[in-house]
Amino acid sequence: MTRLGGALRVARALLRLPVVVLLLTYAACGLAAAGDVSYVGMLRAAAVVVPFVVCSALVNDLADERVDRVNLAGTVEGSNRLLLQGRSHRRAMLVLAVVAGSGELVAAYGLGGEARRAVLAIATAALVVMLGYCLRPVRLADRGVVASLALPACYVATPYLVGLLIGRGVVRASDLGLLAALYIGFVARIVLKDLRDVRGDAMFGKRTFIVRHGRAATCRFSAVAWVVGASLLILTTPHPTLVHRLQVAATAAVAVALLRRLAVDEGPKRDERIVSAIAIVGRALLLGLLITLSAGPAGISAPVAAGFLLTTTGLLLWQARIMVTYGPAPRPGGGRALALMANTGGIRDSSAGTRR
């Protein structure tokens, strides 16, 4: 049992389950947009997407080991990092990354049919962008807003396009508008992830958007991206319903309201609550799109789809409200992590023009 438990912990650390679920949701949106809501299509997409997530997680952990020792010390996320916990060696992780990356390419090639070449090209491009994001001399992760614009190229475009190609075999020009909406929406959320990591990023010269421009500018940028992404989503979703349009507008309004509160620094605990709530709101937006895209191909009537959409959105928005009020469940080592998050000395906030 001890060995089994250790193996399960290693598997959880490698899989990054929340990231896997997010990318598979984008793949499901691509499949649904192509008219495919089958389990077989989803399994074929997962065969390409999951190895990519494992490979990117391993490469990121290898590249960011030093900064993660500062940013993730005492956190649950840090406890899932194999290098930080001494549960793996760099050489072993490098071998696993090569195996996972190769597995992604083999899975893409094994799809066969019309999609083979296109999916293989996308899988290869995703690996190249991911390596450029993490590794020197390119190291896009250190390049401010460029990092927030490059990461969605891997985490949004790859699974969405793979889903489209598996479902239909070709990508149409009309599909690119929806991809742009999903891309901008992801940028709106991902730019906030560095709020927790300011101290370590600044210490090791990782010039993220918030390190360069400060909290207020980061929240403004995210709010604009939310509005633009939501507007584009309303315009580009195939066969949108009135309920879906209202759901998109409502979730975007909630996100912007939360960002206004986040723009004011009232401590790391409050930051964690609001950023987590915004992530939940983003989940509601994405699931609403998936329900809307899947209803037609699955033969679900409009009233049933609308009821499911409203119920899902209501539950997630209620969860976001609870998150803002009470925060995440208590986590071991949280005090130490919050203390590190609170130390943001020397980071300029562009709204004040001073250093704090």
Q: What ranges do the domains of the chain cover?
A: 1-171, 215-331
pLDDT on residue 197: 59
Print burial letters for 123-155: b (CB count within 10 Å at least 16), e (below 16): beebbebbbbbbeeeeebbbbbbebbbbbbbbb
pLDDT number for residue 72: 56
- DSSP H/E element including 348: strand 348-349
* CA–CA gap between residue 287 and residue 312 (Å, rounded): 8
pLDDT at site 268: 78
Is residue 339 predicted with pLDDT exceeding 50? no
Q: Can you tell me the distance from the alpha carbon of 291 to that of 282, in angstroms, rounded to the nearest whole number?
A: 14
pLDDT at 144: 61
Helix 268-298 / helix 302-326 crossing angle, nearest 10 deg: 170
From 62-71, 221-230, 273-282, the region with the lowest mean pLDDT: 62-71
pLDDT given for residue 244 in this prediction:
97
CB within 8 Å of 70: residues ≥ 6 apart: 199, 200, 203, 204, 340
- The pTM (predicted TM-score) of the whole model is 0.83
- Give the angle subtended at the CA of 317 by the CAs of 313 and 321, to the nearest 5°: 170
| Residue 104 clears pLDDT 70, i.e. is over it | yes
The CATH number of the domain covering residues in 1-171: 1.10.357.140
The tens digit of pLDDT for each residue in 253-306 reads 999 999 999 999 888 788 889 999 999 999 999 999 999 999 999 999 999 999
Interval 152-173 mean pLDDT? 92
Report residue 334's pLDDT band, with 50, 70 and 90 as the boundaries. Answer: very low
Angle at CA 61, nearest 5°, toward 58 and 66?
160
Average pLDDT over residues 137-147: 71
Give the pLDDT score at 335. 39
| Tokens standing for residue 110 | 């094994």
